[in-house]
A and B are shown apart, each in its own frame.
Chain A
Amino acid sequence: MRRLRLFAAAAALPLATTVLLVTPARADDPTELIQDELRVAHAPDGTPQTVVISRVVTPEGDVISSTTETIDNPPFRAQDAQFPCLSEGNRPGFGPRKVEHLFYKNRNDMAEFAFFPYAADNARRDPSNYGFSKQWLICATGGADANNGSRTVMTGPGIAFRDSGQTYKLGQNWKEGKTPANYSLNLGFEVPTGFVTIKGQITQTPTAALRGSFRPPFKASEVDAFSRNGANAWWEDSCAPRCAGTGGSSNYQGSVVEALWQFPQDKPVAVSDFALSGFFMHRCSNPFGCR
């Protein structure tokens, strides 16, 4: 019996050594569940960037390891690109602000998100002192497409005004519910804001769920600190978070979210005061790794 144990240990040694020598690439290891959190950023010279915070997590969302990298965005076409989050009928007083993008692509996965901000000066007056207030509305859309055996478990955009101490958010909108199999689902919705109408639209054929929350879908996300001013929406596969085998989607999946905030007119507010995020959780369905 003792000889048998020694033999087994000796046989296992080369295998263990091999495993230690090979550094698994992101999502190559079929045992890993990866949470990629993308965040809008800018280089000092103004170049649009995407910060990718990549976390290996347990199904419960506890972080095993984490890496961060910053990538310059590729040039994007202007707003006439076929993003499924469009504004209609700009009216006096409410105007578009700088559109922001997130983009991330490796050999297996591609994730892309777009954020469309609008602002209206002197939109309302505060009933306590009749001071003017301004409103900001941001519509966000996007998602991810996984290939080479990589599977999307959940993905969607998130927006939050970076203030944890005071609530400025007036409302939010997202699509929610179980999506039926073999049906094309349209996420269209419209919200009149008094000055501008926002229409969000994306078409997909999942057998999964659309969810939304004030809180981000990743419990390790630092954006959670701003949840009182946040809105997040995501597509989630029915296998989440304990996906196995071929669980997850190899098609493009995503969601749409929008929120409205109100600030005192004299409070300086810029697009950079909002945390604009893209969430993408994925795994590798190939037992030999995804390459």
Chain B
Amino acid sequence: MFGVDHAIEAAALTRMYGPSAGVDRVDLTVPRGECFGFLGPNGAGKTTFIRLALGLIRATSGEVSVMGHDVHLDRMGALAQVGYLPGELGLYASLTGHRTLGALARLHPRPPVLREELCAALELDGYALGKRVREYSRGMKQKLGLVAALQHDPPLAILDEPTGGLDPVIQARLLGWLAARSRAGRTIFFSSHVLAEVEELCDHVAMIRSGRLLFVGRLGELRRSRVRSVEVTFSEPVDPARYAGEGVGTTKVEGAHHRFSLSGDPAPLLAALSRLPVADVAIERASLEDAFRDLYAT
């Protein structure tokens, strides 16, 4: 039974492609009203998960619901609540931008109330919309895809790599616009392989690799989970056992200079060191990029 207060809820969701798994027993809950980042390198299974959530491909096993609708049983009910930007965007090349937006709007039950606002924010003016899509640059196509996905103010926006092809100014404007929609209660499910943009927009993230979820939680937790390198210089010889504790790795001692790894919360280590004759201490900053790399390296 799926919870109605979740925008997306997947339970043991699996999709096999022959002997290999595109998505492997994924359990994931995306709360409503959140901006949720879905991170992973290319080919990790992000797009496959999204297509399963939209019912575009069929699950080998497991279940998924979108806005309280079981996608297998009530796909139309789920899709009526969704705006979707595909990662590999295909548009009708022979249509103008304006005709494309009009046609796609008619295929959705919600009226395109945000079209003008979005076009203004993404700098899609009347001249650009009057041109045929085959004349568009990659960035222009991406903007058109974004307007098509978001113009009807969907309760859940699923955006697969939305900033691809956009210049930095428009990227920043888009992220700001999405943050505002999230504050207004809309759910944004944002798939990306660029950590910086997810960090800017999202509180919660899920990380996927080879179809399996590696991490689900707050970005702060991810940063805290990062294994850091610590170097301490004491003013006299000290036994490492005096500061050893949870998260402290094997120490390499060179005279009064100690070097070790630290995972998790640094507070207990700092408390232990405060009672020792420390001459100098250096703890590597917990970078999210490194945490991201650590997770993928495991």
To the question of whether A and B form a pair in one complex, the answer is: no
Binding site for B on A (CB under 8 A): none
